[in-house]
Chains A and B, each alone.
Chain A
Amino acid sequence: MHVSTKKWLFTKISSLILIPLMIWFLINFVSIYDKEYNKILEFFSKQPSKILFSVFIVIAFFFSALTISEIFEDYLHDEKIKNVANKVLYLFAIIIPLLTILGIYNLNI
């Protein structure tokens, strides 16, 4: 399979997984954003919100990295700049969700 076909397939599969997760997160986020610290802590410390939020973050960054690299492909014409931009993007897409998930799994009520 061609690398671009693989990329397209991964984008489509991740977008399909992301849709229900976005709906779940948005409804929960709207319900808790103005709550006291303990309520928020409870949300992130309990299941299934802990695992669902982790999956949401991972898939969201995975999908974003793939789609934003397509934008780079369309608008950045200097190969060196494009390579650096893609590397920075992929690095962010790995480090940010990883640190967030590690933090959540170390939360204690």
Chain B
Amino acid sequence: MFNEKKVTLVYKSNMENKNPLSPHLQIYKWQISSLLSITHRIVGVINFFSIILICIWTVFIIFGQNNYQIIYNIFNSTFGKFLIISLCWTFSFHILNELRHLIWDAGYGFDLKVAKITGIVALAGSFVLTILFYLLGRNFF
């Protein structure tokens, strides 16, 4: 059973003794599960800032045509296109890895082999999905 007082005591003792805290990124050997776990967090933070940027984009629209021209020029530059494609990848990766997490939450996919396969599928699939979303958005189909 979860004992909050005991956990706090152990945590405090760890801090006082300067014991290393998990996750030990510099110690563990990289594997697909740890790679996706840390990437999921980093991508989540990037997506948070991306959504803030999307809100700023809408603010430029709200403030009229002259202001919109600034963001229009950025998005139509090479850097802008790189930003859009990067956004497609970060969203795609987050969608697929979040689905993986939801499947785990439902109690499936814990087997080591299955976890590795779903990890590879999420990573490779994110690139496929990026291309698919971009082409769908550009009315390629």
Contacts and interface: CB of A to CB of B under 8 A. Distances in A.
Contacts of B95: 19, 22-23
Interface in A25-57: 26-31, 33-34, 37, 40-41, 44, 57
- Count class of interface residues, chain A: 35 or more
Nearest to B22: A74
B88 A37 contact: no
Interface residues of B, number: 39
A37 B70 CA distance: 11
Interface of A: 12, 15-16, 18-19, 22-23, 26-31, 33-34, 37, 40-41, 44, 57, 60-61, 64, 67-68, 71, 77, 92, 96-97, 99-100, 103-104, 106-107
17 contacts: A15-B102, A26-B87, A27-B136, A27-B137, A29-B84, A29-B87, A30-B137, A30-B138, A31-B139, A34-B72, A60-B47, A67-B44, A68-B44, A92-B52, A99-B59, A103-B59, A103-B62
Interface of B: 15, 41, 44-45, 47-48, 51-52, 54-55, 58-59, 61-62, 65, 68-69, 72, 75-76, 80, 84, 87-88, 91-92, 94-95, 98-99, 101-102, 105, 133-134, 136-139
